[in-house]
Structure 1
């Protein structure tokens, strides 16, 4: 009896620590990738292929999601961990040694594939093994994990890039990613996979297939439009009924999450290119703006948890839409770096106000009758599909029209965030 108790106590703590470590790794990875984007674009002569550079990892994630359960059945937990680590390190090695945009995108695709291998299994394990009190603490700790990377990530990335080059700097997140995955697998190594979370292969693959069409369209709009329609159709097929119509309650919250992903993550993925190309500022100044929104998001989220107003998500998303639209207008008007810094910080404050309440509403069954696993799968599908579409559409627009294309991208992002704010007003009604 006494020999088993430590395992029961340590398991959930290891799992919680692994989830927090993965969130920290995601923050580090995001800041490294965004800070280095202008350097990689110039090095690989990829100004016309931005979609490839920024959407590769998310495409890999979506390809992996329907395969994760099948891989776990065949390889087991330890085998899946080994395969995921090999794919992640191998993908980064390919990206770090790339000489063309396509090779870089292939490496990023492999890292996304590795990240997705354990995604559904990890989420299901968190739902089954962490009680509500511990999950609440994990959410709070995960939000805080963005503070340090937001403060020092861009500057440290630029310093390392200056010392050792962007190729070696790209490998910085590896220890954090591997540590988080190791902790999660050690915590749930004997747990069977959650077969109820398995996704249909064909419908899930519609999302990356459609997004790939947008990425490779190269300005040929029939292909771009067909790709976007295919990706949206795949998302609608996977999400609960009523999401596409923004049915009041949980479906509307999930729809708002998808539109939020399009607007915010699309804008965030291009912010350094916007500043260095459109505003013609240095990469160091662009890195400061890059940090503004995540830092404001993290701090505001910690404060917003003290309030329970159902109007916060819509109000916050409206602020984010305002800040994003200001960037588009300022680019056309040859605006100042200071205005861009303030606008992006305001956008981050808006996300901090909106995200906690919107996420809780999207993962609360209410009168909808959805299970916890269905909601966990749905919220990741909604947010990640929005993120993938935002990056793909933004990359396609920005690659084809110079400063005008960048401005058009941010106007599209602003419109998506306005639509998200409208959808959020319906999320409070069951």
Structure 2
């Protein structure tokens, strides 16, 4: 019996189609332009945030400036799935782009740190709407055989932002001030829409009037619970810094994690936590791999600065390695060689590479290896993530009915939020508790947790095959 899924067998029999053909080039250019814009915005904000905090005297809201977007992303992601299925990707994408523009203006013109945090919150909601709409637009505008390639181009769109984004943001800040970093990208938004106008006009609803309204309300309510848990785990870590609030902080974070798990269990497809075969298991892979990768990469720059005496510029190399090697892994997954392998096999390979690659940063934290071998391990992990990420996306499109593509896209986003939140809660709690006493072994333990989680992805990858 063939090991291929039905969609892989169908794709193999489809006549060759080219991503850059005259028919598909405009929509590919437009979609990749939007992803590139989002990538530049992400890297620019990460670079410029310390300057913003210093200029607006907002040290107390530093955590909120990053956590607010995650909370609103989670809420908007749950709502965007059903909306996109009912109305098609066009309304969600246009609304998301308007929200993005508003977020950039609010952040760039913010007179206080509180207003800046509000801008970042709007940005999180915009990202959720845009992500869901682009996911569905890919499914509607491009043939099945091109999905792996277009998701690989998404990863490639992060290469230049990862290489040049921090330098460009720093240069703009030096020449014109940090506010221009937020306002300047608005010039690109209308240009990116031009190539995809035809695809947006041809886009169509999925589920239409047959959408499960009760089920959607239940998922949105569960996502609000999930977002509340995210807020608690994000904003209460500083309570661990002082002895007088340490017990209260530990209780708050523990409660937040429990709330996250309860919300996620209702917001994600039934059976996700039990790795039920098919879509639930695929969503579980997204959750686990997000937790694993964040568990390693989230503390890697801080480890380099605190334990190895690296400058922030040197520590930023990890971001560059992530962008470039993630794209390389996605490219490998999109090749004929990669697509000839069953999805479960690619997920197993990617999870194994992340687990094996985590040894580089772990041994670097323990001062067993030097910077170059440590970064080589991280490069291996980033390659594995590049294989897993598009494989999850293409499998969701393959296994879910077309009428539910918006919902599975939203579920994928919520799985990412949950995985990131759980890893961030663990890392943030440990860092806040130990503070300046964070040592190499403590960093190594945190990153090893990510490696073990990635090993779980490799071991459970076979569950993603649909039930025969």
Same fold (TM over 0.5): yes
Task: Quote the offset at 1:177 in angstroms.
Answer: 4.8
Residue 229 of structure 1, aligned match among 258, 282, 288:
258
Distance 2:84 2:384 in 1: 39
Residues of 1 paired with 2:394 and 2:88: CA distance? 32
The alignment status of 1:376 with 2:409, answered yes or no, reads yes
**CA root-mean-square deviation:** 4.0
Which residue of the partner structure matches residue 418 of structure 2?
A: 385
1:203 and 2:222 correspond: yes
**5 Å matches for 1:32-47?**
32-40=44-52
Aligned to 2:39: 27
Question: Match of 2:120?
Answer: 108
| 1:262 paired to 2:291 | yes
Aligned residue pairs, count: 421
Tell me which structure has the larger Cα radius of gyration. Answer: 2
The TM-score normalised by the length of structure 1 is 0.79
1:13-412 matches, within 5 Å, as 14-40=26-52, 51-68=63-80, 84-97=96-109, 102-177=114-189, 179-180=191-192, 187-189=199-201, 191=203, 193-194=205-206, 195=208, 196=211, 199-200=216-217, 201-217=220-236, 218=238, 219=240, 220-265=249-294, 267-305=296-334, 306-307=337-338, 308=341, 310-324=344-358, 326-328=360-362, 330-331=364-365, 333=367, 337-365=371-399, 372-391=405-424, 393-402=426-435, 408=442, 411-412=445-446
Q: Deviations over 1:382-401 (max 9, x none)?
A: 22432344445544543443
- Identify if the C-alpha distance between structure 1 residues 160 and 69 changes in structure 2 by more than 3 Å, giving closer, same or farther: same
Q: In structure 2, list runs of 5 or more residues that go unmatched.
A: 1-20, 241-248
Cα pair distance change 1:371/1:66, threshold 3 Å: closer
Equivalent residue for 1:6? none
Gaps of 5+ in 1: 1-8
Instruction: Find the residue that maps to 2:309 and give its secondary structure.
Output: coil
* Displacement of 1:167: 3.5
In structure 2, the CA distance between the partners of 1:134 and 1:162, relative to structure 1 (3 Å rule), is same
Going from structure 1 to structure 2, the CA distance change for 1:106 and 1:74 (only over 3 Å counts) comes to: farther
Cα gap change, 1:73 to 1:130, in 2 (>3 Å): closer
Q: Any idea what SS the aligned residue of 2:270 has?
A: coil
Moved more, 131-140 or 57-66: 131-140
